[in-house]
Amino acid sequence: MNNCIKYKVKNNVATISLNNPAELNAMTLEMRERFSELLIECEKSPEVKVIILKGENGNFCSGSSVKGMGSRTILGTFDHMKIFSGLISKIYNMEKFVISMVEGYAVGAGFSLALAADIVYASPKAKFGLAFNKLALIPDCGLNYFLPQLVGPYKAKEWILSGSMIGVEEAKEYNIVNDIYPEETLLSIVTERAEKIASGPYYTNMFTKEIINKSSQRTLEETLDAERYAQTIIQQTADHKEGINAFLNKKTPVFAGR
């Protein structure tokens, strides 16, 4: 599949765009492998500080491609799940901030993909779907982890068992979406937000993501320890010194990511 994922880097922001319009940007094996390669490239590149995940043609992602579903062997299913689950884990655990920009459908594993990011912005037409039960499957790719944390276990089970399609306003009400913006301005707003994060103090942002993402698995004391270690390291950075100098001189800090 040619051009199945579009990729560009500008102003320290990488944009990864899924491009499989025939299946509402469902992820084929080729797309998952290419996506994995791009995430590794982003992680290694000093030029990339923030990543935007989006879909082409007015949809985000409808999960895994249904081609081959129902005919896979046990090992085939195991390998299929391993690749997609690896993408989710990579996005959630990588140092760099990731923003999901959701237009149209974010369904099944596409819903998981959106939630693996650090921030989710959406258009008024965004819809988040849980069709697993209708296929006699359980949610996967981290939805059983992300969704209960956001909406609570009772609401998560209700939505999952009923195969709900969640509109964007309800998604915002339950903290699945940070903000909703008109389709014609969504990309420019998300890009502006991403560039603002990218211009910030890199190591401060990195430690913030790591500590918050692990806070639900840590005790208060463990979180306090993580904060202490991180703050001790950050105070030695050039960005911290720049922040102090700018504050004392009533200027806007210019961070270099060091």
CATH number at residue 143: 3.90.226.10
How wide is the angle at C-alpha 71 spanned by C-alphas 67 and 75, nearest 5°? 105
Give residue 28's pLDDT.
Answer: 87
CA dihedral sign, ordered 17, 22, 27, 29: negative
How wide is the angle at C-alpha 138 spanned by C-alphas 134 and 139, nearest 5°? 100
At residue 105, φ and ψ (nearest 5 deg) are -85, 130
CATH code: domain of residue 210: 1.10.12
- CA 140 to CA 175: how far, in whole Å? 20
Residues 190 and 243 in one domain: no
Q: Domain of residue 216: give its range.
A: 202-248
Q: Is 190 inside a domain boundary?
A: yes
- CA 111 to CA 188: how far, in whole Å? 22
How wide is the angle at C-alpha 133 spanned by C-alphas 124 and 138, nearest 5°? 100
Residues 209 and 98 in one domain: no
Sequence-distant (6+) residues with CB within 8 A of 40 are 90
The SS3 assignment for 101 reads strand
The SS3 assignment for 61 reads strand
Residues 158 and 217 in one domain: no
Q: How many domains is the chain built from?
A: 2
Residues 219 and 116 in one domain: no
Residues 173 and 113 in one domain: yes
Q: Is 11 inside a domain boundary?
A: yes
Residues 107 and 75 in one domain: yes
Residues 18 and 110 in one domain: yes
Q: Is 34 inside a domain boundary?
A: yes
Other CB atoms within 10 Å distance of the CB of residue 10: 11
Sheet holding 127-129, edge to edge: 105-107, 127-129, 165-167
Give residue 60's pLDDT.
Answer: 96
Residues 87 and 206 in one domain: no
Question: In terms of C-beta density within 10 A (0-12 exposed, 13-18 middle, 19 or more buried), how is residue 175 classed?
Answer: exposed
Angle between helices 74-93 and 109-116 (to 10 degrees): 20
Closest CA to 146 of 97, 113, 178, 121: 113
DSSP class of residue 180 equals E
Q: Is 255 inside a domain boundary?
A: no
Residues 131 and 230 in one domain: no
Q: Is 257 inside a domain boundary?
A: no
- CA 4 to CA 31: how far, in whole Å? 6
Give residue 85's pLDDT.
Answer: 87
Residues 208 and 228 in one domain: yes
* pTM for the whole structure: 0.91
Give residue 68's pLDDT.
Answer: 56
Q: How far is CA 88 from CA 12, 85, 141, 153, 169, in A?
A: 22, 5, 7, 21, 25
Residues 81 and 109 in one domain: yes
Give residue 66's pLDDT.
Answer: 65
Q: Is 253 inside a domain boundary?
A: no
Per-residue pLDDT of the chain (258 residues; tens, 9 = 90+): 458 999 999 999 999 999 999 999 998 888 988 999 999 999 999 999 999 999 999 999 998 866 655 566 777 677 767 788 889 999 999 999 999 999 999 999 999 999 999 999 999 999 999 988 777 887 888 899 999 999 999 999 999 999 999 999 999 999 999 999 999 999 999 999 999 999 999 999 999 999 999 998 899 999 999 999 999 999 999 999 988 898 999 888 999 888
Residues 176 and 210 in one domain: no
